[in-house]
A and B are shown apart, each in its own frame.
Chain A
């Protein structure tokens, strides 16, 4: 199953500048694992421990924050889009 992951600019150094990376997997955790394999060095930027995202990393499946879904266990299907979004200040 092919899932697109949108890469924000602070992380494009790990993807040769690409803003989208095609990944495979059945849930968010799996596609992020695939991203780790495809973007060498990105892992510690996203994860602080096994299956534990850094505090300021927000992951969206299509338009929904995965914390409103099943976090890393959230299932994905072909054609879904995953975004990695840094937190921003209030307004």
Chain B
């Protein structure tokens, strides 16, 4: 059964019935889905959830969808203890929530898109679309193909090749727009208005954003029905960070986990950090920026939900940290070498920010820490291609191989003599 009561404006509290609207007609604030938590008590339990499918739909009671049409293999991604990374950073209880292998297009976006497209079909739309920095376009195109509905994806003109091909293969109509994500975004609001399509992150936004909660639900369930004390989350438009917190709070309210006052931290690239800037200054006005970073998937200079990301960080006593492009690439390599996970620059940003928060003492080394990895490095080869060694070519002769091995060992000895723990790995 559905526990959805309707939509409620996050700013002014104005209520409307479930419908494809996203902006409060009273104050322009965002609508959010409202649930009947009292009715869930005793019915939505650890057991009821654990008996559900191994996908994001195991949390269906806490999602605004009556009949799922896609995403049956999405979500329920690995939550792993990061022992080797923890060793490097001197932590004892470090975890990775790994959406880099989320099915089918390898990012956290499967969660929001599965909910939005199911809702679009329920509302009777025959065309879906999105404004995207790449990952959302990939996911929308794939799920639209699987659901058999028409799809338009709008992206900035300068995205990585992997992100462009990663959408085109599914057969959507792709439009590359001269400008940055914020320009694409603005055009899409006008397109949604004019053509009456279901743009997943525009007029389906209240439903779309709810899908992001499943990342947080999974962390709590997979951690053994408890919450990490510290969760570090990338921030672009500001969707996932407040929704992870909302997921934690919903589980607390339903008595599924203990309230350990979890703290949430925002990670942004230094070349696009309007939310972190506000957090560090302690002012709740998010000043827009013109992005300039290799972390294109999170290069949103005018984040729609930036204020809510700010507010959750402040309310939970977390903090915000940004990372330079150099730090982002180093963190991508560190995660790959210590944990065997290849993430995109957004994930590098999150880990780099987490490292800074740990090293500065903002996050105590001996407490439970979760780093949210939301995308896959195979889509963003450009970010690291000039940063990896060129493998040597040899003849197919054992003597040449012996020689190469001897040279490598000598070089390794030299490097370890320099005693640089991170570099040594």
Contact = CB atoms under 8 A, between A and B. Distances in A.
A89 B302 contact: no
B25 A89 contact: no
Nearest to B134: A91
A20 B22 CA distance: 21
B175 interface: no
Given A65-B288, A68-B288, A87 B30 contact: yes
Contact of B201 (A44, A85, A88): A88
Q: Is the interface of A mostly helix, strand, loop or mixed?
A: mixed
B23 A86 contact: yes
B9 to A, nearest CB: 10
B201 A89 contact: yes
Given A9-B193, A56-B11, A88 B131 contact: yes
A90 B288 contact: no
A91 B29 contact: no
Interface residues of A, number: 29
Interface residues of B, number: 47
A88 B288 contact: no
A11 B28 CA distance: 9
Nearest to A19: B193
Interface string B111-145: 00000000000000000001111011100000000
Interface stretch (B180-188, B353-361, B392-400): B180-188
A60 to B, nearest CB: 7
Given A55-B11, A56-B29, 9 more contacts: A8-B23, A10-B24, A63-B179, A85-B189, A88-B202, A88-B237, A89-B209, A91-B201, A91-B300
Nearest to A90: B237
A67 B189 contact: no
Interface of B: 11, 21-30, 130-133, 135-137, 179, 181-186, 188-190, 193, 201-202, 205, 208-209, 236-239, 287-288, 290, 300, 302-305, 307
Contacts of A55: 11, 29, 307
A5 B132 CA distance: 26
Contacts of A45: 25-28
Given A67-B287, A68-B288, A85-B189, A90 B29 contact: no
